[in-house]
Structure 1
Amino acid sequence: MLDKYGLKVSSLYIAQIKRKHGLIERENYNFSKKENQRVPNCPEKRERKGY
């Protein structure tokens, strides 16, 4: 993405967009042990850029 579009893309944002559009993801093996974990969301501005 950086080479083609000039955007740095977080793996978290890619996973959130895939989940939103129903694309298949693999099982997560790196679970957090915290009860109230904070997960940042992909900003709509970046979502509209095309990832």
Structure 2
Amino acid sequence: MIREYIPKGTDIATITDEEINRMVWQINTRPRKMFGWKSSLEVFWSEMFHLA
């Protein structure tokens, strides 16, 4: 997934923390078929509230 944002061969030292955080947010909020079209973030929080 990260290759969608950072092409192979790119020097990752040139990527800012802000860019990394944006990529992580986009990946974690993307709906997934395996989660019934929920995002991994939605599934995570659902499980956290279920355990509480």
Q: Which has the higher strand share?
A: 2
State whether TM-score is above 0.5: no
TM-score (norm 2): 0.31
Q: Which has the higher helix share?
A: 2
